[in-house]
Structure 1
Amino acid sequence: MGALSCRQGQDTQQGQHTRVAALHEQGGNIRGLWKSLWSGVGTIRSGLEELWELQGHQYVHQESLQPAPLLVEKPLSEWPVPQFINLFLPEFPVRPIRGQQQLKILGLLAKGSFGTVLKVLDCAQRAVFAVKVVPKVKVLQRDTVKQCKEEVSIQRQINHPFVHSLGDSWQGKRHLFIMCSYCSTDLYSLWSAIGCFPEASIRLFAAELVLVLCYLHDLGIIHRDVKMENILLDERGHLKLTDFGLSRHLPQGSRAYTICGTLQYMAPEVLSGGPYNHAADWWSLGVLLFSLATGKFPVAEERDHVAMLASVTHCSFEIPSSLNLELSLLLRELLCQNPLHRLRYLHHFQVHPFFRGVTFDPELLQKQPVNFVMETKATQTSPLESMPFNDFDCDLESFLVYPILA
């Protein structure tokens, strides 16, 4: 979730990243259970989509002095179908209307195929958060109830300085809400602005990602969507891995078969439909580091996973001769076709020549700010974050939002 995995709903950036997901690993088919519900409710079109259709069309202007909108749904007792609530318990508890914190919407952070991420102010805590808003109808239509609940379950389980922390989760009548801490930018935005990263910064970010991936794998968790858009940068320029929407518990020795992730980051064993394991995340890290070092992806994006598999399998990665030997070696050992030969354990990285002199300790790695990130952030303004709202439908049924025009 953008700021989230909530992560940050960023799958649509640059048209480069396409999520592919099979249904057989997402849990049992529940469409039959809700067939009668759909006939009574009809096709509920989420107003989150209407927001984007309203862009470029005629807006309904509100008075500029109106108070900021509040993110509050009507009492759940009005909804006549209790299964529509129980299905998402206990990961998404029901918030009594009196106890529901008032969240003022400050802006839009990201819009993805599955939900929208809003920047909000918690009036009680006087703190800014990011809230991922997911329509329940979309979850049911895609048969991904189990995956949504596992996303929250995983985030509640983990506690790491390089993971985007979960603040809260709850449900309204028609939407699920996942609230996380707020970060103002992500690694992809930074990469798009500056291209190639300095080698010292690549080394730092690589060490931080190695620590967090080793932590997740030790807990039996595979992320399956490690990419620049899912890495947020905090106020000191250090990273936070986010968006656990495709993650799942995968005990050591187990295998997965679902084709899912972002095409240009997907390992060959994932593109082929498995079996695969946690080693797939290390391939994704290799793609990410290659992009930071060279300013481009190792393989161009294809139209689907079949064509992408052919390109990845038959294309040899051209590592520029300008990169030093230690970094080139690291990239080759991560972008290895055979997952058994990839670097995948912490001690592999601790003794690697590219990390000579690096202490794999989160506290020490965070001791100094990342100066070039701070300098770049100071000159950037996110186009989405700069779009404020002056109206919001509190019922979230139509979700009509109007930008303030200059």
Structure 2
Amino acid sequence: MGNERSAFRAGNPFCALVLVSKWKGRLSKVGASVSSWCSGTFQMTGKCVGQRPRVAEGRAEARSTGWHFPRSVSLFFPVFPYRSRHLDEEFQDIEIIAKGSLGPILKARQRMDEKIYAVKVMLKVEVIRQGILQQCKDGVVIQKNVVHPFVQGLLECWQTSHLLLIKCDYQGAGDLHRLWVESKPLPESRMRVFAAELGSIIGFLHDSGIIHRDVKMENVLLNERGHIMLTDFGLSRRLQYGERALTICGTMQYMAPEVLRGSPYNHSADWWSLGVLLYTLVAGKYPVDPEVDHTLMLSKLERTRVDPPPVVSQSLGFLLSELLCEEPQRRLHRLDVFSEHRFFRGLSFDPELLQQLPIEAPDPGHLPPPALYLADFDWEALRDEGLPQAG
């Protein structure tokens, strides 16, 4: 824990800020995240992993790592097995449906079983440059091992020469942020179901010794019946009750005060993020608008009095106040207390029963076209990997 490095995710849902000057300008209008620079990891590689090594160089790297592969491949073992096949050899009907900070997210039909999957694509060179190699591995291992009705299923991971790929269950109704943009503010009755489902999975993760650290609308997918699927465990880590984390990470406007301060924190930080999410759904705006770094964000948060929106019911107002309590020890941070709150009176937290509740599913045809936020993406590194080019 003492060796954890600072990392943070910033601002605008479609606005990624990364710590690499080449990508900072290109991604500043689109994405999601900023993570720590881990120079030691980059120095270990000896060169940019996006470059193809000379034969002699590759052999020397293979001997030094103990794998019969160049280091640009070996670094990602064993979580990401190597495959030489291009994407278009494994999948057909490939579409770009979203934009991550390290590459596109695809909808693709697998040739072998004819089923549709979501495939997250990450550029290996960016994983190394941003110092998130171990974080990337840990995140997919955690997500793959979490089995819950409200978690997006992670099916397999692999790598090619330049890319990391993660295949997940496909959810065709977009994410909660897109729904919010289309429909904000959401009615309390609809938000109440989302709140119960999110509280259910956050409590499950914490009881399993996992803190998510990036609970936000963009990481909540919706299935065809309108119910939630939590995804993107890239910042999650194992954290048992009584332990503390130190890394400054998350998405700026969702980060708890103790995280912004750089103080030791625990699972309570996820419940603050949930409070921000629920407040935003019903108010149509964030309780505190994002800033460009965590210092400015903390200063702004300390100057702002976060009161429940005047339009909500008294019971919801109390719930938001308890979640958005600046003192972690006094903050609502346990599922048993959350589920018994009077805002949820008469609502079962059993996942199967929650999934049976009627809820309006979003119309995928009304979602913003990917071209709106993929226009500035740099496709040069993906040209030889069988991905469709933006157009």
> What residue in structure 1 maps to residue 152 of structure 2?
164
Deviation per CA, 1:283-302: give whole Å up to 9, x if none. 00000000111111101122
What SS class does the counterpart of residue 134 from structure 1 fall into? Answer: strand
Among candidates 268, 273, 294, match of residue 283 of structure 2: 294
> What residue in structure 2 maps to residue 265 of structure 1?
254
Residues 211 and 239 in structure 2, CA contact (< 8 A), matched pair in contact too: yes
> What residue in structure 2 maps to residue 309 of structure 1?
298
Residues 238 and 369 in structure 1, CA contact (< 8 A), matched pair in contact too: no
More deviation, 211-220/319-328: 319-328
Deviation at 1:394, TM superposition (A): 11
Residues 17 and 262 in structure 1, CA contact (< 8 A), matched pair in contact too: no
Aligned residues: 351
Show structure 1 runs of 5+ residues with no match: 1-8, 43-78
Is 2:379 the partner of 1:383?
A: no
What SS class does the counterpart of residue 339 from structure 1 fall into? Answer: coil
Distance 1:35 1:190, change over 3 A: same
Deviation at 1:223, TM superposition (A): 0.8
Deviation per CA, 1:279-331: give whole Å up to 9, x if none. 11100000000011111110112222111101112211132333111000000
Is 2:176 the partner of 1:182?
A: no
Structure 1 residues 10-89: aligned runs within 5 Å: 11-12=14-15, 19-23=33-37, 29-35=40-46, 41=52, 81-89=69-77
> What residue in structure 2 maps to residue 249 of structure 1?
238
Residues 185 and 284 in structure 2, CA contact (< 8 A), matched pair in contact too: yes
Structure 1 residues 69-218: aligned runs within 5 Å: 81-95=69-83, 97=85, 102-184=90-172, 185-218=174-207
Distance 2:368 2:50 in 1: 42
- Which TM-score applies when normalising by structure 2? 0.81
Deviation at 1:83, TM superposition (A): 2.3
What SS class does the counterpart of residue 356 from structure 2 fall into? Answer: coil
Distance 1:335 1:301 in 2: 16
Distance 1:370 1:171 in 2: 38
Percent sequence identity over aligned pairs: 43
Deviation per CA, 1:64-117: give whole Å up to 9, x if none. xxxxxxxxxxxxxxx99532222211111123759x971124211222322221
- Which TM-score applies when normalising by structure 1? 0.78
Distance 1:17 1:307, change over 3 A: farther
Distance 1:290 1:140, change over 3 A: same
> What residue in structure 2 maps to residue 365 of structure 1?
354
Show structure 2 runs of 5+ residues with no match: 1-11, 17-27, 54-66
Residues 393 and 401 in structure 1, CA contact (< 8 A), matched pair in contact too: no
Deviation at 1:352, TM superposition (A): 0.8
Distance 1:31 1:15, change over 3 A: closer
Deviation at 1:141, TM superposition (A): 1.6
Distance 1:192 1:41 in 2: 42
Deviation per CA, 1:143-169: give whole Å up to 9, x if none. 211011101110121000000110211
What SS class does the counterpart of residue 177 from structure 1 fall into? Answer: strand
Among candidates 334, 340, 345, match of residue 329 of structure 2: 340
Deviation per CA, 1:138-194: give whole Å up to 9, x if none. 111222110111011101210000001102111111211101111221100110011
* 2:15 counterpart letter in structure 1: T
> What residue in structure 2 maps to residue 70 of structure 1?
none
* 1:377 counterpart letter in structure 2: D
